[in-house]
Structure 1
């Protein structure tokens, strides 16, 4: 009996101790783990009716852009009065539904200051009981990079040298994040100036992930370039031969954009026919004749910026000295165009990664700023 009583008492003590330990363990202060929200947990949800009202019935007056799979409208939310961009997918277009799913899957798991921020998604039916899919983004008041490189109105004059370098560095930072800092590397697959959007401070944000691909182990063993359309002039040549999607494909697109930013020439310009390309056009001029192919708007904007600084009553001491606009552009174009040529090389193995691109462009910008003091 003594042995039985001792065992029972010991068992009770152990059980009570376990419960007490579990109780205090459950109540201990914990560090909240960072969790990416799913598209069901985005900041707020909007109905079709709310989006319809916020865009004045998706009127043409609110239309700000048309893409491959849908249209983008400016909207003012009634409750918060927040200005947003609403991307409405044209589900009659082949691939639009798949594009909507791809954007949701991509954007719900990534966060970076140079990526367009998604606020919520809407998957519903419209007034005619047709399927309706839309994404709501933060609004970018300064439009796309394409509008600034190829101004179509007098309201947009162009970008000066430092503005272009800043945008190039920011786009490279976004791609570096996608390629190297995400748990699963992401390839954008449709990088072009119209998919680089500028906020009120002219900070660049990469958007439109409708063709994005995750580089999982499974996809590395398969050809994932099948069905990729991309945009003419920016699609790497190897994709047309069935080569797998890779981060070096994005590097090619980036290189074309960089050349376009500083030559002012689009890769689909009429001059690039019969097999000629923007890469060959820039390569033929590098390094001796770069001033002949430089975007004329560069010189105009640099002169206006210099005149403004000289006339300003609050100009900083020493800012009137330094190299003139032409010399500054000439010295900067050599390394910038070299980076663009490396990235847009027809051979994937010869291309720079975005890590190297960002580092080199920072050096160029720092040199310009140092000499301009």
Structure 2
């Protein structure tokens, strides 16, 4: 065999082998990505269905669990267990406990303690199922990593056996396939450790890039959920604290002022006692909607906790801060009362950076003091820094 033919044959064999290896790796990565995405999607749907059942069950038990014969309304909660997302998991134990709880609702001789214990068992069974789904995801991820590493090791061994000069091509394949997967695994570990800002690099082959994009989309959804109040849809305490730290850092770099507002619903406990917790939740949602309308586009309204809200108001002076606060107070005051509720009012305390403080705690201390002052002066009013110390409780925005 001529040298040229031998070189051509060897080159062709190398190219075909390298092509086969590369194609096999890409195909396997595609299959593993599909399997992982399918697993995560199914498990996330089942966990979401179980969490929705838990919320419905707890809500029912809170408002109606003590009423004998209330199973007709509880049937709508039980129907949540028929979601298609739960078809692939064993819910027999949970259903048994649900049936037990429903039976106690019918039983006129059952005590409150028995119903509460049965409800706790339902909650425990549902939480156990959620925990099992999370463990299943955690169990499958190491297996995916092991299979991927084994696949790459086999491909590298074949390439070395065929020809030593394939080293550069193999290194390129490793660079384009394994490293993105390892980066993805590290990002997943960071998210599992609580770092929701972790991002997977988008690189490598198309399938690996798709996997990184899908991972980042999932991380974005988790991050948004972790920073959003489920009831009102406003940013929550965590998002608010992160944003105010950013505002302080920006104000240190550039001589700027910003303000914060702390809002508290007036006599909200009495409102809850009179109209019930569902009406109270609806009231918090109405206040959140009014705040969104009243604030500027650059402001950040948030639910700080319970019936307390807060707003970050960037690039503002004392007079304008008082006007924003008054708009919010007025927007809440003029909201029409629902059929099963009453009109609401809020008291607002304001603080201005750096006049009232240069730290988060200092600003909140000043705003809280003014909030208590507004409460003490009759509620439904704004107390803000000079030059506008107090606004009338009837002044329009």
- Under a length normalisation based on structure 1, what TM-score does the superposition of the two structures give? 0.28
Normalized per residue, the structure richer in helix is 2
> Relative contact order: is structure 1 or structure 2 higher (C-alpha 8 Å, sep ≥ 6)?
1
- Under a length normalisation based on structure 2, what TM-score does the superposition of the two structures give? 0.27
Greater C-alpha Rg: 2
